[in-house]
């Protein structure tokens, strides 16, 4: 008789994991306040500037500029930092597409670099090899909440005079050697989109310690206006990418419980890390002691199918889901293989345009291994579960391993 749930056996669990978002009366109170004030936009209300200050302080940055998404934050930060159209910008090949499309959007040329298989963050040595006389910036992603190696990135930036724009979309409260990420480089960008550990449905913020970058980001976010100009006087190129007071009201409430939830996620992260590591063929990403705080946005391990009767990543994930564990393959396509990049479909209706790089010839072996064979993700809401929930995850992996022979016959 079949034992694994994928073959009709009893699942490891049927209980749901915690759902996301988490909210309570605080969100309702703040939202009602904005509604009743009639000040619904950030130009008139106070919630946006209140959150900007709170979050910038929390990340140890001088300035915060709230915008309508993490994607917008990246695009505006590049321009505000002075990266010119036509410049090359180094990005990891294993990240959300916005890291790279933000570069195309501001007229730049993304150059994809492979990841370090131990951390899934950009490999600084390979980033160094990718520098040319056209390189203007590097965008390390603090992937899953684990800080990139900011010592090596900043050294590289200094050597070649590059701007560093941190993609910290997943890294609220994360640290490198005790320093909060986001303003270690010239600027850093965070996301508050639905899946994120602090969410307002949509939203993003640019952090910087640089007064000029802050001024330019604020202007680009507000139709190119200047603080001291007239209302219909537009000095710089910009659009309306402002956030609403309703979103800022939610962000304030979300932020008020962030540390408490962060601690729960981190404790579960450490437990999973210790327990899953004991299983042959399960290799959680490596914890570098320089990463002194981790937002635990994703828990990731590398799956080695040789220890699971050669069951593929996709079949393993399916078996886990049937056991009652929501398990994600994560990014399944390296960015340079995405149709938009492979075909340079940057024109209207996907029209192929002339572009300085032919992405169809790019190859990053570690990124491909992660996408196709090894990377397995658990999302942050899973990490809000109880210790028993975490034990169920470990039990499901062990069960699948023990009976992996069964899966080959599916």
Ligand X SMILES: Cc1ncc(COP(=O)(O)O)c(C=O)c1O
DSSP 56: H
Smallest gap from Cβ 243 to ligand X, in A, equals: 11
Smallest gap from Cβ 204 to ligand X, in A, equals: 5
Calculated CA dihedral for residues 215, 217, 219, 224, nearest 10 degrees: 140
Q: CA 217: distance to chain centroid?
A: 21
CA 70/CA 51 separation, integer angstroms? 16
Nearest CB to ligand X, comparing residues 95 and 380: 95
Q: Which helix H or strand E contains 387, and what residues bound it? A: helix 387-402
Please list the residues that pair with 298 across neighbouring strands. Answer: 379
CA 107/CA 102 separation, integer angstroms? 9
Of positions 30, 48, 87, 99, contacts ligand X by CB under 6 A:
99
DSSP 250: H
Of positions 93, 98, 115, 198, contacts ligand X by CB under 6 A:
98
Put residue 128 in one of left, alpha, beta given phi > 0 → left and psi -120 to 50 → alpha: alpha
Smallest gap from Cβ 1 to ligand X, in A, equals: 43
Of positions 59, 79, 95, 174, contacts ligand X by CB under 6 A:
95
CA 88/CA 356 separation, integer angstroms? 10
76 binds ligand X (CB under 6 A): no
Chain residue at closest Cβ approach to ligand X: 70
CB 126 within 8 A of CB 306: no
CA 214/CA 66 separation, integer angstroms? 11
Residue given tokens 């980033």 in the structure block: 127
Q: Which stretch binds ligand X (CB under 6 A): 27-35, 66-74, 78-86, 397-405?
A: 66-74
Q: Which stretch binds ligand X (CB under 6 A): 4-12, 68-76, 151-159, 341-349?
A: 68-76
Q: Which of residues 150-189 bind ligand X (CB under 6 A)?
A: 167, 169-170
Q: Which stretch binds ligand X (CB under 6 A): 12-20, 95-103, 278-286, 349-357?
A: 95-103
Calculated CA dihedral for residues 119, 122, 123, 126, nearest 10 degrees: 160
| Count of residues in the chain | 410
Nearest CB to ligand X, comparing residues 79 and 99: 99
Q: Which stretch binds ligand X (CB under 6 A): 96-104, 180-188, 314-322, 334-342?
A: 96-104
**What sections of 143-244 are H helices per DSSP?**
150-160, 211-221
CA 172/CA 189 separation, integer angstroms? 10
Nearest CB to ligand X, comparing residues 204 and 238: 204
Q: Which of residues 14-53 bind ligand X (CB under 6 A)?
A: none
Of positions 12, 48, 59, 69, contacts ligand X by CB under 6 A:
69
Smallest gap from Cβ 72 to ligand X, in A, equals: 7
Smallest gap from Cβ 330 to ligand X, in A, equals: 11
Over the window 199 to 238, marking each residue x when it contacts ligand X by CB under 6 A and - when it does not, the resulting string is: -----x----------------------------------
Nearest CB to ligand X, comparing residues 100 and 249: 100
Smallest gap from Cβ 45 to ligand X, in A, equals: 21
The dihedral built from the CA positions of residue 205, 70, 75 and 189, taken in this order, carries a sign that is positive
Please list the residues that pair with 176 across neighbouring strands. Answer: 179
How many chain residues bind ligand X (CB under 6 A)? Answer: 14
Q: Which of residues 119-148 bind ligand X (CB under 6 A)?
A: 141
The site for ligand X (CB under 6 A) is made up of 69-71, 95-96, 98-99, 141, 167, 169-170, 191, 193, 204
């Amino acid at each position: 008789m079949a034992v694994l749930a994928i073959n009709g056996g009893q699942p490891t669990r049927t209980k749901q994991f915690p759902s996301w978002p988490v909210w309570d009366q605080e969100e309702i109170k703040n939202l009602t306040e904005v509604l009743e004030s009639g000040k619904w936009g950030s130009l008139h209300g106070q919630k946006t500037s209140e959150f900007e200050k709170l979050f910038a302080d929390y990340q140890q940055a001088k300035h915060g500029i709230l915008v309508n998404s993490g994607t917008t934050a990246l695009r505006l930060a590049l321009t505000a930092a002075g990266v010119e159209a036509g410049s090359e910008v180094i990005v990891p090949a294993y990240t959300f597409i916005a890291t790279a499309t933000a570069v195309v959007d501001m007229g730049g040329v993304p150059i994809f670099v492979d990841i370090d298989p131990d951390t899934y963050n950009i490999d600084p040595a390979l980033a160094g090899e990718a520098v040319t006389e056209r390189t203007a910036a590097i965008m390390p992603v603090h992937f899953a909440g684990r800080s990139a190696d900011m010592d090596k990135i900043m050294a590289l930036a200094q050597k070649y005079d590059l701007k560093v724009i941190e993609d910290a979309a997943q890294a609220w409260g994360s640290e490198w050697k005790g320093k909060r990420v986001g303003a270690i480089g010239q600027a850093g960008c965070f996301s508050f989109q639905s899946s994120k550990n602090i969410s307002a449905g949509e939203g993003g913020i640019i952090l910087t310690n640089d007064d000029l970058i802050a001024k330019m980001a604020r202007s680009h976010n507000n139709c190119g206006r200047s603080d001291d100009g007239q209302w219909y006087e537009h000095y710089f190129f910009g659009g309306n990418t402002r956030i609403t007071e309703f979103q800022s009201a939610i962000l304030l409430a979300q932020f008020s419980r962030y540390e408490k939830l962060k601690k729960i996620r981190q404790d579960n992260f450490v437990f999973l890390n210790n327990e899953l590591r004991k299983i042959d063929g399960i290799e959680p990403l490596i914890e570098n002691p320089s990463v002194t705080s981790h937002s635990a946005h994703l828990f990731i391990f590398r799956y080695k199918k040789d220890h699971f009767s050669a069951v593929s990543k996709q079949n393993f994930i399916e078996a886990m889901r049937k056991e009652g564990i929501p398990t994600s393959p994560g990014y399944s396509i390296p960015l340079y293989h995405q149709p938009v990049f492979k075909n340079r479909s940057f024109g209207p209706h996907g029209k192929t345009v002339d572009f300085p790089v032919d992405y169809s010839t790019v190859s990053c072996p570690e990124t491909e291994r992660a996408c196709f064979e090894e990377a397995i993700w658990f999302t942050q809401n899973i990490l809000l579960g109880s210790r028993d929930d975490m034990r169920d995850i470990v039990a499901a992996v062990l069960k699948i391993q023990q009976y992996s022979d069964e899966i080959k016959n599916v």
